[in-house]
Chain A
Amino acid sequence: MFSLSQRVQYIANFSMTVGLVIVALIIGSSHLDFFQKGILRNSQAAIANIKPIVGFRTSRFYGAANGHPKENTRIAFDLNTDLSGLFNWNTKQVFVYLTAEYNNTEKGTLNEVTFWDAILPDADHAIIKLENTRSKYSVWDYTGDLSGKDLQFKLHWNVQPHVGPLMYGVAQGDDIIVNVPKPESKV
């Protein structure tokens, strides 16, 4: 005999199975789409014209301790990229971030810091043309100074899906290495 609870249970089980199959199809097909476009390994970005702006901050929220001013670096930069290929039916948003890697040989640390980032809500916003844009963040090194270091700039992206795994990648382009100059005076 079929009782109410059995019917409810059957419907619940069936809809859950159907839901999981649909989710698997969405994830699989969107990966196939990315693979066909070759976008995951072959996104392009042109970073240029990086001008470091070096100053001092005295707040502990800018790395200063015990009132000693801390050297902080901002940059101005140009950026040209088209990441619209990262958008398909399973892309909720793309997060792009401009980072710099550097090696602090005196302290023996490897470091990566973010200078600028943005949330791209759709494919129209994924075509980025920035000229002489100021970085979003004021960056300091946690043990020493950024001045004198060679910063290697890269544009990374992170695809955040409607459902499924998060994906990460780096945009290809020329090697951009910039040396940060010494600041003029401790203001």
Chain B
Amino acid sequence: MNIRAELAKFLNLCFVFSSAYMFWQTYSLIADTHSPIVVVLSGSMEPAFQRGDILFLWNRNKYSKVGDIVVYEVEDKQIPIVHRVLREHHSTKNNGKQLLLTKGDNNAGNDIPLYAGKKTYLAKNKDIVGTVKGYFPHLGYVTIWVAENKYAKFALLGFLAITSLFGDE
């Protein structure tokens, strides 16, 4: 066994992970949001967005427009929701706050029952994670598969282990 070659391989792996992490952090800095790429988890925007589709977000806009598809998080629930803005109200004063009402295209009613507590509106500056700008189908299904199937995790780890064992030619 050649220790130098093994170390080089390990370093290469570190490089792959750190560059992926750097890409994520840079994009999140540019787009001003904590998760700039999200995977669709629910069917409430079908048929346009299906489970496993990837969405690219942007959060530098001060106000959302009606018709924008936004990703928001409800307090004390960790699942991000992707829905369309149905109404917007903002103050004409400088730095006036904006309130939004959202709805899934495929849902019958608006999102008031989903909001935390007795809230009937979302605040743009607090609740919105980002506005959907770009779309790529199906590719994110891998993450859903790994997160929801306990054997998938082991299969993925096993595959990585086997390739790293036999990959030194």
Contact = CB atoms under 8 A, between A and B. Distances in A.
Given A156-B66, A158-B67, A93 B92 contact: no
Interface residues of B, number: 36
B135 A168 contact: no
Interface string A130-149: 00000001010111000000
A176 to B, nearest CB: 16
A108 B93 contact: yes
Given A111-B88, A112-B87, A156-B66, A95 B48 contact: yes
Interface of A: 1, 3-6, 23, 60-61, 63, 92-93, 95, 97, 99, 108-114, 117, 119, 121, 137, 139, 141-143, 156, 158, 160-166, 168
B99 interface: yes
A158 B169 CA distance: 52
B163 A109 contact: no
A166 B136 contact: no
Chain B CB within 10 Å, residue with most, of A1, A92, A109, A161: A109
Interface of B: 47-49, 65-67, 69, 84, 86-93, 96, 99, 105, 109-110, 112-113, 118, 120-121, 132-137, 163, 166-167, 169
